Chain A
Amino acid sequence: MTLSIDQYAHLSRWRERPVLEKALLAIGMLLLAISLPPWPTAPCIIASVLGVTLLGARVPLRLWLRCALIPAGFLLTAGLTMLFDVGRHDLSFSAAGLPVVCGLLLRSFAGICCLLLLALTTPVTDILASLRKIGLPREIAEISLIMYRLVFLLLDTASAMHTAQAARLGQRNRKQQLRSLGLLLANLFPRAMDRAGRMENGLAARGWNGEFKVLRRTRPLSLARLTWTSLLLGSVLLMGSLFS
């Protein structure tokens, strides 16, 4: 099984860094990419964020490429279609749109780099906890947390059932595949209910009273890192506004 982005985030070298520090860099750069003209801001942002991701957080290049490939593919297709004008009867290439499209692509790609930096170093649960601090309602945060936990269990169960079906030739042709899928889904539901019941018992055994209180270990912010991040953001801002 290949690890999910979130699992890499858990194993990341920057896992222990406070979310605020990572978010300041990633979201800060993202805002700059959106708000400043793409040239020369976007290339600067791509270079610096990529540098931080690969050299600072030591995200392996192969992993990064794999993660960037899918959104980059979407960008390219979107960009290409924008180069054509659809007339009433024909389809024409519009060279005039080229600079606009390039700018857009650069800007969007810079955005992807920023988000990947955050996604590959910060697990979903850390982000949820931070959102909770800035005002996400408790109920939504808790339901998201439980869903996040149970999705993995549900996927495990579904994949085990799928394997079992395949072992008994349940996937031998299209028609059978469809039938097997229906059976799988129908069985998944009572199983999920069953598990929910057992989980409730398990939580009750530990004195659950409707609220998921847990201890979070907070890590101190590093003034040095915050300063460096601000300097980096400041210099991109300066360069972007001076040379555009």
Chain B
Amino acid sequence: MNTILSVQQLGYTFPGDVIALSGIDLSIRQGRCLALLGPNGSGKSTFLQHLNGTLRPQHGRVLLQQQPVAYSRQGLNLLRSKVGLVLQDADDQLFAASVYEDISFGPLNQGLTAAEAGQRVEAAIQAMGLGGLENRPPHMLSGGQKKRVAIAGALAMAPEVLLLDEPTAGLDHAGIAQLIEILQSLMQCGITIVFSTHDVDLACRLADDIALFAAGRLIGFGERSQILLDQAMLLAARLKPSLLLQMVAFARDKGLLATDAAMPRTDHEIMDLIGKWQQAACQPA
């Protein structure tokens, strides 16, 4: 599979010698969903901000489709057209007088005509389920709605990669469920997704690959099951294996779940499996 974005030996230090990132090597494959998993202050957000040029690396470099990113206006415009960013706090992103106007901001900056931009906006409104809210000002939206407007604003630029910083922060249960559905539908459209989180279950639910961050270092990178079922590694990153992960690990230990079988993504999937195991156990051989 093609690598769309990669970083080499990335390092970044905040003023006051606070090391945010050091020696990060990572390749993001096209069409996959990558979770940046780690506790607060592990460098996930700083890393994300490097991927669309918000931050410029102090050490190492960022490559877009194998080409080093040029930090000129032109280079940044190219990078940001391909890599959309959704900030953690939607209020930092929404500025316009209405939902419709806000979403149109990115496409117009890309130099699209009003007609083309209008189509992009309509499509993004449809995809994010924002119909009926087009004329609302941002301060009259709920948290979940603001988040969806922020995603729509990035999506309207037709990016190949969508970066989301802590996408579920501040959302209630229903809001999170809706967000997950939206991200899943985006993945089906072939958009590469990179999101940061400290929620192991969210990573298990959505991600194909996981990059595990701890104290500014990348301490693990691989397929979902490879990272999430390694308890020692999770604990090293100050994360706790959830009940779901513990049950999966247990089922594997006991030979109920084959090591090459797909790892369950949700509570419901593991409960379905338990039902099947029970049925199998009750049937006479």
Contacts and interface: CB of A to CB of B under 8 A. Distances in A.
Given A16-B135, A212-B105, A205 B110 contact: no
B169 to A, nearest CB: 14
A198 B87 contact: yes
Contacts of B139: 149, 152-153
A15 B135 contact: yes
B97 A145 contact: yes
Interface residues on A, range: 20 to 34
Interface string B100-113: 11101110111000
B271 to A, nearest CB: 40
Interface residues on B, range: 35 or more
Interface on chain A toward B: helix, strand, loop, or mixed SS? helix
Interface stretch (A43-51, A63-71, A110-118, A214-222): A214-222
Nearest to A213: B108
A203 B95 contact: yes
A16 B98 CA distance: 13
B101 A216 contact: yes
Contacts of A15: 135
B157 A214 contact: no
B109 A213 contact: yes
Interface on chain B toward A: helix, strand, loop, or mixed SS? helix
A202 interface: yes
Contacts of B274: none
Interface core residue of A145, A148, A204, A206 (most chain B CB under 10 Å)? A206
Given A125-B97, A152-B139, A214-B108, A205 B117 contact: no
18 contacts: A123-B137, A125-B98, A125-B137, A145-B95, A149-B137, A195-B92, A201-B54, A202-B85, A204-B54, A206-B80, A206-B84, A206-B105, A206-B109, A207-B106, A213-B105, A213-B108, A214-B102, A215-B121
Interface of A: 7, 10, 15-16, 123, 125-126, 128-129, 145-146, 148-149, 152-153, 195, 198-199, 201-209, 212-217
